[in-house]
Amino acid sequence: MPKRVLVVDDDAAVTELLRRALGAAGFEVSVASDGEAGLRLARTHPPDLVITDIVMPRMAGLQLIGRLVEAPETSGVPVIVLSAHLPDHAPASWTRAVRLCLTKPFETDAVVAAVQTILAAEA
Protein backbone atom coordinates (compact mmCIF):
# COMPACT_ATOMS: atom_id res chain seq x y z
CA MET A 1 0.00 0.00 0.00
CA PRO A 2 1.51 3.38 -0.97
CA LYS A 3 2.37 5.88 1.72
CA ARG A 4 0.07 8.92 1.94
CA VAL A 5 1.46 12.44 1.68
CA LEU A 6 -0.66 15.51 2.32
CA VAL A 7 0.56 18.74 0.70
CA VAL A 8 -0.89 21.95 2.17
CA ASP A 9 -0.06 25.14 0.27
CA ASP A 10 -2.10 28.03 -1.09
CA ASP A 11 0.00 28.14 -4.28
CA ALA A 12 -1.71 25.84 -6.80
CA ALA A 13 1.48 25.57 -8.89
CA VAL A 14 3.37 24.21 -5.87
CA THR A 15 0.69 21.68 -4.96
CA GLU A 16 0.41 20.46 -8.56
CA LEU A 17 4.19 20.18 -8.96
CA LEU A 18 4.48 18.17 -5.76
CA ARG A 19 1.42 16.06 -6.57
CA ARG A 20 2.99 15.00 -9.84
CA ALA A 21 6.50 14.43 -8.50
CA LEU A 22 5.42 12.51 -5.41
CA GLY A 23 2.85 10.55 -7.39
CA ALA A 24 5.53 9.53 -9.88
CA ALA A 25 7.63 8.35 -6.92
CA GLY A 26 4.81 6.03 -5.84
CA PHE A 27 3.13 8.06 -3.12
CA GLU A 28 -0.59 8.63 -2.75
CA VAL A 29 -0.90 12.43 -2.67
CA SER A 30 -3.72 14.66 -1.50
CA VAL A 31 -3.60 18.44 -1.50
CA ALA A 32 -5.25 21.31 0.35
CA SER A 33 -5.07 25.03 -0.30
CA ASP A 34 -5.14 26.17 3.33
CA GLY A 35 -4.60 24.88 6.84
CA GLU A 36 -8.30 24.33 7.60
CA ALA A 37 -8.78 22.13 4.54
CA GLY A 38 -5.52 20.35 5.31
CA LEU A 39 -6.62 19.61 8.86
CA ARG A 40 -9.95 18.21 7.63
CA LEU A 41 -8.14 15.93 5.16
CA ALA A 42 -5.64 14.82 7.81
CA ARG A 43 -8.45 13.91 10.20
CA THR A 44 -10.52 11.99 7.66
CA HIS A 45 -7.61 10.30 5.84
CA PRO A 46 -4.58 10.42 8.15
CA PRO A 47 -1.42 10.86 6.08
CA ASP A 48 1.95 9.27 6.68
CA LEU A 49 3.61 12.67 6.19
CA VAL A 50 2.52 16.31 5.77
CA ILE A 51 4.25 18.98 3.71
CA THR A 52 3.02 22.44 4.65
CA ASP A 53 3.63 26.07 3.85
CA ILE A 54 3.64 28.55 6.73
CA VAL A 55 1.85 31.59 5.30
CA MET A 56 -1.65 30.57 4.14
CA PRO A 57 -5.18 31.90 4.42
CA ARG A 58 -7.77 30.64 6.94
CA MET A 59 -5.21 28.73 9.03
CA ALA A 60 -1.46 29.25 8.85
CA GLY A 61 1.03 26.40 8.86
CA LEU A 62 2.07 26.94 12.49
CA GLN A 63 -1.52 26.52 13.63
CA LEU A 64 -1.94 23.47 11.39
CA ILE A 65 1.15 21.84 12.88
CA GLY A 66 -0.13 22.54 16.40
CA ARG A 67 -3.53 21.02 15.62
CA LEU A 68 -1.92 17.94 14.04
CA VAL A 69 0.20 17.40 17.16
CA GLU A 70 -2.85 17.79 19.44
CA ALA A 71 -5.05 15.26 17.60
CA PRO A 72 -4.53 11.60 18.57
CA GLU A 73 -4.95 10.37 14.99
CA THR A 74 -2.22 12.70 13.65
CA SER A 75 0.04 13.35 16.64
CA GLY A 76 2.84 11.18 15.29
CA VAL A 77 2.72 12.34 11.69
CA PRO A 78 6.04 13.85 10.56
CA VAL A 79 5.95 17.27 8.92
CA ILE A 80 8.12 18.96 6.32
CA VAL A 81 7.84 22.74 6.29
CA LEU A 82 8.22 24.16 2.79
CA SER A 83 8.03 27.93 2.91
CA ALA A 84 9.64 31.19 1.89
CA HIS A 85 8.89 32.52 5.39
CA LEU A 86 10.23 30.41 8.23
CA PRO A 87 9.37 31.56 11.76
CA ASP A 88 12.00 33.17 13.99
CA HIS A 89 11.29 30.75 16.83
CA ALA A 90 9.84 27.27 16.94
CA PRO A 91 6.83 26.53 19.14
CA ALA A 92 6.73 23.28 21.13
CA SER A 93 4.49 21.59 18.55
CA TRP A 94 7.12 22.35 15.93
CA THR A 95 9.82 20.38 17.73
CA ARG A 96 7.50 17.39 18.13
CA ALA A 97 6.40 17.19 14.49
CA VAL A 98 8.74 18.99 12.10
CA ARG A 99 11.47 16.79 10.69
CA LEU A 100 12.81 19.20 8.06
CA CYS A 101 12.47 22.80 6.86
CA LEU A 102 12.99 23.63 3.20
CA THR A 103 12.84 27.09 1.72
CA LYS A 104 11.16 28.23 -1.46
CA PRO A 105 12.17 28.17 -4.20
CA PHE A 106 12.94 24.47 -3.93
CA GLU A 107 14.20 21.55 -5.99
CA THR A 108 11.42 19.02 -6.53
CA ASP A 109 13.87 16.11 -6.42
CA ALA A 110 15.11 17.28 -3.01
CA VAL A 111 11.57 17.29 -1.63
CA VAL A 112 10.87 13.80 -2.97
CA ALA A 113 14.17 12.53 -1.53
CA ALA A 114 13.38 14.11 1.84
CA VAL A 115 9.94 12.46 1.93
CA GLN A 116 11.49 9.08 1.11
CA THR A 117 14.19 9.47 3.76
CA ILE A 118 11.83 10.61 6.51
CA LEU A 119 9.27 7.89 5.82
CA ALA A 120 12.01 5.23 5.73
CA ALA A 121 13.29 6.45 9.10
CA GLU A 122 9.77 6.49 10.58
CA ALA A 123 9.05 2.90 9.49
Dump pLDDT digits (tens) for 10-46: 999 999 999 999 999 999 999 999 999 999 999 999 9
Dist CA 66 CA 63 (whole Å): 5
* CA geometry: angle 81, 77, 111, nearest 5 deg: 40
Domain count, the chain: 1
Query: 58-115: per-residue pLDDT in tens?
Result: 999 999 999 999 999 999 999 999 999 877 766 666 778 999 999 999 999 999 999 9
pTM: 0.95
Q: Please say whether the beta carbons of 41 and 30 come within 8 A.
A: yes
Range of the domain at 21: 4-122
Three-class secondary structure of residue 45 per DSSP = coil
Provide the CATH number for the domain around residue 97.
Answer: 3.40.50.2300
